[in-house]
Amino acid sequence: MTAFATLEDVLELSGKAYTAAEQERISALLPLLSDALRVEAYKVGKSIDEMIAEDETGVYASVVKLVIVDAVNRVMRQTLNGEPMSQESQSAGGFSWSGTYAIPGGGMANALMRNDLKRLGLRRQTISGIDFAIGWDE
């Protein structure tokens, strides 16, 4: 199956100059992340490819492309030497340190975030309730 975004899309939309080695890595990531997105859709009984084909406006395909480009950029922000931090705090006298990982758990496993899936209509907040008045005859 084809990837939802191309190397050119990533280079154009990310606004970052990637090296040749990084571009090779991006080319390898694109089909993998696209397939990971297909699996996430399959889990909720949907097909991204069908949803793109059925969208007459072409807008959904653009949003899918944007999600893949965002996911690629999240993976590429990671250093291969350690876990990337989105924020870090240090102190001197009390020997304190804290930090938040950019992608918790690292790797591609968490490259597709919940907000990405929400944007594509693959996650929805549901509310369920119980009608306690059932069976009461008053």
Give me the tens of pLDDT residue by residue for the chain, a chain 138 residues long: 899 999 999 999 988 889 999 999 999 999 999 999 999 999 989 999 999 999 999 899 999 999 999 999 888 887 555 555 566 777 777 787 777 665 554 555 567 888 888 888 888 656 666 555 555 555
Do 120 and 48 touch, CB atoms closer than 8 A? yes
Break the chain into its structural domains and give their ranges. Answer: 7-119
Instruction: Report the pLDDT value the prediction gives residue 27, as an integer from 0 to 100.
Output: 95
Instruction: Report the pLDDT value the prediction gives residue 15, as an integer from 0 to 100.
Output: 86
* Spatial CB neighbours of 63, under 8 Å, sequence gap ≥ 6: 119, 120
